[in-house]
Chains A and B, each alone.
Chain A
Amino acid sequence: MLKVNNLHAGVEGNEILNGINLEVKAGEVHAIMGPNGSGKSTLASVIAGKEEFEITEGNIEFNGEDLEEASPEERAHKGIFLSFQYPVEIPGVSVTNFMKTAINESRKARGLDDMPANQMLKLIREKSELLEIDRKFLSRSLNEGFSGGEKKRNEIFQMAMLEPKLAILDETDSGLDIDALRIVANGVNKLKNKDNAIIVITHYQRLLEYIVPDFVHVLHDGKIVKSGTKALALELEDKGYDWLKNESVV
């Protein structure tokens, strides 16, 4: 589904990603771990199409298609979703209205008419139950005054509504207490199926107890320095990241 080939990218001449290779197939869950500043969030943003970053070498393929020319919204229409570490507040636009806009813009891009109102309401009801979201919450302004947990839950709610093929969850566990973490992880697990894929970006192993990855990659200095199974995440929890840094020097 996703193929990242020797990806070099940066901002204003500063290279942040130094040749990333990553392949994600349908049905898989990948975790990308690494210390602060290793390039985890940059990788997520580059895959989602953030224009600020310049790709200097390599490329990203999504279902066989080179994404180079695709805008962030076009990538979204193709089925890429990014859950933000810091979701943006949009006062005056309710969660419901925002979702209507997002869904209908995607449909428009695929040549479909707007989703009928009753179908939209049904979908919203279904997905909000999945994430244990209160109905009142949906009429509030998007992310405005939301707690950290509410913001993250709302991100996964959006993911549930948009049904992406590839979901990248950037530090979804940060700022969550254990109950919120469980609700968010349960939501993600229910959305997971054999046709979609998930990349979980996290600093800590904690989230991976709930969303169990098939593969774990460790990012350091803009490179994947080690890949393995879930056991690697536990090893990192034990030893920290330092032993890997040393290893990469060798």
Chain B
Amino acid sequence: MENKIMDLKDKMVSSFLAFENNVDVDHPIHDIRTEAIKNFELKGFPNKKQEAWKYTSLNSLQKIDFSIFPKESNALEYKDVKRYFLHEIDTYKIVFIDGVYSSFLSETTHDGVDICLMSAALSKPMYKQIIDVYFNKVASKDESLTTLNTAFSKEGAYIYIPKNKMPKKPIEILHFATGNEAAMLLQPRNLIIAEENAELQVIERHQSLTSNDVLTNSVTEIFAAKNAIVDYYKVQNDVENASLIDNTYISQKSNSVVKVHTFSFGGNLTRNNLNYYQNGEYIDSTMKGVTILGEKQHVDHHTLVHHREPNCESHQDYKGIYGEKSTGVFNGKIIVDKIAQKTNAFQQNNNILISDNATINTKPQLEIFADDVKCSHGCTIGQLDEEALFYLQTRGIPKKEAAALLMYAFANNVLESVRIPELKMRINKLIANKLGVQLGFDL
């Protein structure tokens, strides 16, 4: 007897019809969705023959029989999930349980700024003008996973910060997977807009609460207008059967600063596609990452910075520590258009392998068409410094703790730019946990 599981691609395409029963098909957004599903049907899931997916395989994930829509609405008690929030401080919260908004766990606002839901923004007339201008405008129209998300885009976080405004507190976007389904596919869609001179801080986290399979294919669009400042923190510390494909697209105007920090400690397979497009002068695009992996974990960082105007900067600093049989990928692409003179583009990827079975593939990809630019890139792969270990041991610190201290020191400069002290403290604790040590102080 053969019980064949439908191919995930076919399943997605055929599920689109069921999806259409629950959305307003007359809304202009639905044309975008329809176009997107056509595109996905044409392309399908990426495979290892494609250069950008050479080191990351989605094959085993495609064999899982994912539920695409949760069968029932699930509730969670705050006390059970409190630890995943940055509960030490007051924050706005946009919380989803199995892809469904939880008003019970959330704290949204319309007080001078909009921190609320994508479903509301996509359906209510008052948001129409903004949605028309921004929705799906920077996200790729032909990258297959992005189009898959676009086709099913319905829910996620919607954040709009008007000119000269700044929310009173940081915003947390949390996605919980309850495991009530054997396997769940989630496709959140976030839209974040910071108008001229606006400023905001966002923390995003995906958390599965059981060991059931979860695959999240997320798309976030961020627009930073003139002088806007966006700090975005991605905390990736999910359980072993949770995989994440994070597609983030950022469009920046003159003098804006957008910093994305990605902390990757958990999960099964994580792919970060982080894309910056500079559409103005004197822009600062900064991306930083700390990756600490063990077991058979896999994290793939693919970054792109497209310098399209003169006098801009980009800074990339990714640190990776790979243990056991973990694998890592860093691929950093920088494009400098001919017009983009006086560009400063820096890229650094440093890695430590602490196991003979761990692997890292690191590759800079520079396409520079302007002649008056400063571009530097460097990648290193090494082991822990024996002399430094010895130094710490002679002070009475056991080898394991000494190694942890050195790894912490190695990753430290990435943490320096975290502007929420409580978050920094939290990340430090996650690092200590991940390194399996307790030191005489909180890292």
Contact = CB atoms under 8 A, between A and B. Distances in A.
A49 B406 CA distance: 19
B106 interface: no
Contact of B440 (A45, A80, A84, A100): A100
A93 B405 contact: yes
A123 interface: no
A51 B415 CA distance: 32
A73 B396 contact: yes
A82 B386 CA distance: 16
A73 B441 CA distance: 19
Contacts of A77: 396
Given A88-B385, A102-B397, A72 B408 contact: no
Contacts of A76: 393-396
B391 A73 contact: no
B398 interface: yes
Interface stretch (A104-112, A218-226, A239-247): A104-112
B313 to A, nearest CB: 23
A72 B390 contact: yes
Interface residues of B, number: 27
B409 A90 contact: yes
A49 B393 contact: yes
B388 interface: yes
B383 interface: no
A71 B441 contact: no
B246 interface: no
A91 B406 CA distance: 9
A92 B409 contact: yes
Contact of A88 (B388, B401, B415, B441): B388
Given A72-B393, A100-B440, A105 B398 contact: yes
A136 B270 CA distance: 42
Nearest to B413: A91
Given A92-B408, A114-B440, A82 B394 contact: yes
A50 interface: yes
A37 B396 CA distance: 28
B54 interface: no
A60 interface: no
A162 B412 CA distance: 26
B402 to A, nearest CB: 8
A112 to B, nearest CB: 12
A52 interface: yes
Chain A contact residues, majority secondary structure: helix
B398 A73 contact: yes
Contacts of B408: 92-93
Contacts of A105: 396-398, 401, 440
Nearest to A90: B409
A25 B402 CA distance: 31
A19 B394 CA distance: 24
Interface string A52-87: 100000000000000000011101110011101001
Contacts of A88: 385, 387-388, 391-392
Contact of A91 (B393, B409, B439): B409
Interface string A182-214: 000000000000000000000000000000000
A169 B409 CA distance: 26
Interface of A: 45, 48-52, 71-73, 75-77, 80-82, 84, 87-88, 90-93, 97-98, 100-106, 109, 114, 158, 162
9 contacts: A51-B390, A73-B396, A75-B394, A88-B391, A90-B388, A92-B413, A100-B441, A101-B401, A102-B395
Given A73-B394, A100-B440, 9 more contacts: A73-B393, A76-B393, A88-B387, A91-B409, A100-B441, A101-B401, A101-B439, A102-B396, A102-B397
Q: Which 10 pairs of residues, A with B, have the shortest CB-CB distance?
A: A92-B412, A72-B393, A76-B396, A101-B440, A104-B440, A106-B396, A102-B395, A88-B388, A88-B391, A97-B441
